[in-house]
């Protein structure tokens, strides 16, 4: 039953010598062996390396001396984060056998705090998608109902935490890829402020939007894990040196001091069950002393087109490096250099990735740049200004995370426009670089999880976690049957 404990409980058991790291690893490995055939949340689990790390941790503990409280707890990591000596595939054929020669900054930090790697999780290829159906390794399934998508692109991380196949996980969020799967799978997921966590060693999708964040089964675990991976890193030029002030013990906030902004625009087109649920939570917060204020974020309608122009433009540039020469898949059907490039890329990339590269290349091409990319940058500025104005009046903003709960596998995959539109409530936070969390707020009539999103101003993660911890207490705890 070790898989049911949160970080503090596991740390205590380890500290008292009641369990060893090997026992915890064993317990999660058994869960993975029993259930991951159904959920498909992991791409790589290296049993041997897992036990080796656990034994090393147990030896460190036995030796005594200074030790992190969390030494020996296993964590799942999204497969676009480089792990030295362990495959990092990005769920793509082009990186199917890629073994990084270095560690991402976040993985170094995890190791530095004694956490051990449980496995690498499934995702949409290069983090492009909302369902994991764009994975070369097949989709992950939602633990609440395996006919449904777990969300994406960090769907493997969310599903693994939801199904108790991992105590917590790391993901990345370019337009909602942590918060949307967290909402669909009934777990907590945070995308921190842009610059809070180093992107060194994260395989780039859209560099001005990408940010690494965490998943947990409770707010405290997500906060703790984020505090471990946060911090300045000179190898990422967008990394910012700010205090990490949100360790779980510092999180208890007072509702009487908080002003919550609620933008009408974020409730348009939202399913009735979700709207009722979130409005109910807001009423309850008000009764308990929070001040609720109506605000307007009127540029939300620009968010989807602006995001899909900027993200694809950056992706077309970032993905130029997969050329079959330096690393990754290489086509053996080519006879000239040009053919090698084009065959490698057409055989190695999946459909969605190709679509995005073509869109991005088109919008950046001469003659179109001003009409598309430059226009999108202007739209991005309007969205940033919108939030600035809002945060001069309110501390945080509450909205639903998604417009619907998890939908059927196969339902959206052939309608990319509809899938892009479904990101509408999460992508503005990436465009503005602000932090956002999704916490489970209950179930809809179909028994599927509903996510509540809290956004805050830059580096106000503490406010977000504080409020999230309060809301967590007023929500019915939910868990899948698995």
Return d(Cα 72, Cα 53) in angstroms, integer: 8
From the candidates 41, 78, 191, 457, which is the catalytic residue? Answer: 78
The residues, any chain, with a CB within 8 Å of residue 208's CB and separated by 6 or more, are 194, 310, 314
Site for ligand GLN in 414-433 (CB under 6 A): 423
Q: Is 412 in the site for ligand GLN (CB under 6 A)?
A: no
Phi-psi label, residue 85: left if phi above 0, alpha if psi -120 to 50, beta otherwise = left
Residue 242 Cβ vs ligand GLN, minimum distance, rounded to whole Å: 23
37 flagged as catalytic: no
The structure tokens listed for 257 are 């001091």
Q: Where are the alpha helices (DSSP H) in 230-336?
A: 272-287, 300-318
From the candidates 92, 153, 230, 457, which is the catalytic residue? Answer: 153
User: Per-residue x/- marks for ligand GLN, 46-75, CB under 6 A?
Assistant: ------------------------------
78 flagged as catalytic: yes
DSSP 34-102: HHHHHH--EEE--HHHHHHHHHHHHHHHHH-SS--TTTT-EEEEETTB-BTTB---TT-GGGTT---SS
Among 40, 132, 177, 402, binds ligand GLN (CB under 6 A): 177
3-state secondary structure of 191: strand
Choose among 288, 278, 284, 192: nearest CA to 238.
192
Return d(Cα 153, Cα 134) in angstroms, integer: 9
With contacts defined by CB under 6 A, name the span among 34-42, 125-133, 234-242, 444-452 that binds ligand GLN: 125-133
The DSSP symbol for 204 reads P
Q: What strands lie across the sheet with 116-121, from one edge to the other?
A: 42-44, 116-121, 74-78, 168-173, 211-216, 188-191, 436-443, 449-456, 396-400, 259-263, 291-295
Report the residue number, 53 or 180, with the smaller CB distance to ligand GLN.
Answer: 180
Among 119, 139, 150, 175, binds ligand GLN (CB under 6 A): 175
Among 173, 221, 314, 386, binds ligand GLN (CB under 6 A): 173
User: Per-residue x/- marks for ligand GLN, 149-168, CB under 6 A?
Assistant: ----x---------------
Q: Is 204 in the site for ligand GLN (CB under 6 A)?
A: no
User: Per-residue x/- marks for ligand GLN, 243-282, CB under 6 A?
Assistant: ----------------------------------------
Report the residue number, 89 or 130, with the smaller CB distance to ligand GLN.
Answer: 130
Site for ligand GLN in 298-357 (CB under 6 A): 311
388 flagged as catalytic: no
Report the residue number, 75 or 127, with the smaller CB distance to ligand GLN.
Answer: 127
Return d(Cα 227, Cα 221) in angstroms, integer: 10
Residue 167 Cβ vs ligand GLN, minimum distance, rounded to whole Å: 23
The structure tokens listed for 288 are 């308990």
Q: Is 127 in the site for ligand GLN (CB under 6 A)?
A: yes
Report the residue number, 113 or 180, with the smaller CB distance to ligand GLN.
Answer: 180
Q: How many helices (H) and strands (E) does the chain have?
A: 15, 11
Q: Is 130 in the site for ligand GLN (CB under 6 A)?
A: yes
Among 74, 156, 176, 216, binds ligand GLN (CB under 6 A): 176
Catalytically active residues are 78, 153, 177
């Amino acid at each position: 039953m070790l898989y049911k404990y949160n970080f503090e409980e596991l740390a205590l058991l380890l500290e008292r010598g009641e369990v060893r790291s090997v026992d915890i690893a064993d317990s999660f490995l058994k869960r993975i062996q029993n259930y991951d055939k159904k959920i498909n949340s992991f791409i790589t689990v290296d049993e041997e390396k897992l036990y080796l790390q656990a034994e090393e941790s147990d030896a460190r503990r036995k030796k005594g001396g200074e030790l992190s409280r969390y030494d020996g707890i296993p964590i799942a990591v999204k497969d676009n984060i480089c792990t030295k000596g362990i495959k990092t595939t990005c769920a793509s054929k082009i990186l199917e056998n890629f073994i990084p020669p270095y560690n991402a900054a976040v993985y170094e930090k995890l190791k530095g705090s004694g956490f051990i790697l449980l496995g690498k999780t499934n995702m949409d290829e290069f983090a492009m998608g909302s369902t994991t159906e764009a994975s070369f390794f097949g989709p992950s399934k939602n633990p609440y109902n395996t006919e449904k998508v777990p969300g994406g692109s960090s769907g493997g991380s969310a599903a693994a935490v939801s199904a108790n196949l991992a105590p917590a996980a790391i993901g990345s969020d370019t337009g909602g890829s942590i918060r949307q799967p967290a909402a669909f799978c009934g777990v907590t997921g945070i995308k921190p402020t842009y610059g809070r966590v180093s992107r060194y060693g994260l395989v780039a999708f859209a560099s001005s939007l990408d940010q690494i964040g965490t998943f947990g089964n409770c707010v405290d675990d997500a906060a703790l894990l984020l505090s471990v991976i946060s911090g300045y890193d000179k190898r990422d030029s967008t990394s910012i040196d700010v205090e990490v002030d949100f360790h779980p013990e510092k999180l208890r906030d007072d509702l009487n001091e908080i002003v919550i902004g609620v933008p009408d625009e974020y409730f348009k087109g939202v399913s009735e069950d979700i709207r009722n649920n979130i409005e109910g939570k807001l009423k309850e917060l008000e009764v308990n002393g929070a001040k609720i204020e109506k605000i307007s974020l009127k540029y939300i309608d620009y968010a989807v087109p602006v995001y899909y122009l900027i993200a694809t433009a950056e992706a077309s540039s970032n993905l130029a490096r997969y050329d079959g020469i330096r690393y990754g898949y290489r086509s053996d059907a080519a006879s000239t250099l040009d053919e090698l490039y084009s065959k490698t890329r057409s055989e190695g990339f999946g459909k969605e990735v190709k679509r995005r590269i073509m869109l991005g290349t088109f919008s950046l091409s001469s003659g179109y740049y001003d009409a598309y990319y430059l226009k999108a940058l202007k739209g991005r500025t309007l969205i940033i200004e919108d939030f600035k104005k809002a945060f001069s009046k309110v501390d945080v903003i509450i909205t639903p995370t998604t417009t619907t709960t998890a939908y059927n596998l196969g339902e959206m995959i052939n309608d990319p426009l509809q899938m892009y539109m479904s990101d509408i409530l999460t992508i503005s936070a990436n465009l503005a670089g602000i932090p956002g969390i999704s916490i489970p707020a209950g179930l809809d009539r179909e028994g599927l999880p509903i996510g509540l999103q809290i956004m805050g101003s830059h580096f106000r993660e503490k406010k977000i976690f504080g409020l999230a911890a309060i809301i967590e207490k007023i929500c019915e705890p939910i868990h899948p049957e698995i």
